[in-house]
Structure 1
Amino acid sequence: MSAQEAVAVREFWQGLGLPGLIDVHTHFMPKNVLDKVWAYFDAAGPLVGRPWPITYREAEAERVARLREFGVRAFTSMLYPHKPGMAGWLNAWAADFAARTPECLHTATFFPEPGAAAYTARAIEEGARVFKAHLQVGGYDPAAPELDEVWGLLADTGTPVVTHCGSGPVPGNHTGPGPIGEVLKRHPDLVLVVAHLGMPEYAGFLDLAERHPAVRLDTTIAFTDFAEADVPFPREELPRLRALRERVLLGSDFPNIPYRYVHQLEALAGLGLGEEWLRAVCHDNAAGLFGLDLGRGHGLEHGVNLGPDLGVS
């Protein structure tokens, strides 16, 4: 299946005339942390409510190799703390992972705690290109005073922050467009990437994106059969999503998905929003956002080190 799937993924982006894919929502974490995440999904915990088999339950090196086989030219290592004292050592791990994985956009995270602004500033100085915030798992108010300087640093430096702020799979105390909207009122230039299109509050997060030009949306899990069974995207909102073409980014949740990677791509193609929309979403928007030199003059060969192409040290 691996070789066949790689062919299918590559045929998808080659058919669009792209040099590959850029996936802004992939998870690489320390093994002990990822093992706990997988154990949680295995138990179909209260935030899931139904079986969630991990399709790519593989060693780290195998997962990196698989993305390379797919032709994913840049990806992230989304990771997040659920308690104080975690973010610093997660950031140290992520910096090391990015240093030894040229395709990975150096990712960092934070938590509302004393010192959050200091270690966020340090991560940016050390080369972090993108941050992850998970309001549901972290259980915190994004407008907490301890985070105001953090959001300010991210806004001032133009550093994107992929944020799980929607209320799927179940609402949290601080999920939905309202709480993160308060942050945007204070920091309107914040490059907020709303994970999962904000499911299930799709319309509310489209409103937020239309009001704030710096806001982006990522497609993670959206439109797949798995998502559509419980929280279908309202088809009457598709014209708004088409109009936001330049601010929608491909995300997958790899490896923690209960279906094959190619299904996310097929689901996006099935929307009928056109090849220009797909090219923008699957590659060009993220290339522009992160300043990646990923021209369309050549494809990606298996196992090639992309450090020079990506401008990543």
Structure 2
Amino acid sequence: MIKKDLALQLAPRVLDLVRARSMQTGEPLREQTFAEALGVSRSPVRRVFALLAEWGLAIHEPNRGYFLNQDAAQIQQAAVPVASDPFDDFYLRVVDDILSGEIPAHFFEAQLLRRYAVPRGQLLKVLNRLAGEAMVERNPGQGWSLKDFVHNTQAHIQSYRFRMAIEPAALLEPGYQVNHSAFAKARQQQQALLDGEIQTLSRAQLFEIGAQFHELIVQGSANTFFIDAIRQQNQLRRFMGYTANVDRTRLAAQCREHIHLLDLIESDRREEAAHFLWKHLDHVGRLKTQQDEVPASNAMSPAQDD
């Protein structure tokens, strides 16, 4: 029963990723891919796939694995018979409290147990997840500490400066290849957001769409070091992105910019695309870190989860 409960709790997150990636009928559901994205082992992901097969959302082929049985766009979140996930609700509550400064830079488990009135095991699961996301760490003696990145404005600036160095450079790699089918899916995702999904998708889904978009752009370089770097940055940003996406008012402009970037790349205007992406990240970094204002005549539209 415990194992099935865990699978029920993970199922909504797996489906979030399926929707965020606009997966199509017949696409393979790869255990390692979802396990890495969710920060869990492959076993619970395999049990989620089995549940999806029970619900008719996936099919299992012996010796081959699980395959999606419906297009992501056809999977209605409300129609999926999954349990609510109190763990994720509690996790996001802790995230919000950390980012708002309610939880100090150095804290003890006893403080949080008093604050939230939850079992110690539940609290430890959240803290271990945050540790896996490189947002907290256990002190050598007692207690826990927030990593410097969480409230360090300079670290946020450096993160964007790093991305400004690697993402445009990836576009200029010799032999850059456009994955046209993946680009078409990304374009559909951005248009679906413009058509209303901005207001209906969860914070986690919105973040995953933005993260996967930028990873797709870098993947065309086929440079392992660039790809590993953007994945590491996405992992660091995931924590901040959950809260940043609460304000959805500026996401439409971001979607239009993403579509324009796809247009530039697919028309083989990669130098122009690299310059556009550099400006885009520069402006977003300034917005996120509340640094220098960009003159209206030069500013690009704000983005929330880039």
More helix by share: 2
Higher relative contact order (CA 8 A, sep 6+): 1
TM-score normalised by the chain length of structure 2: 0.23
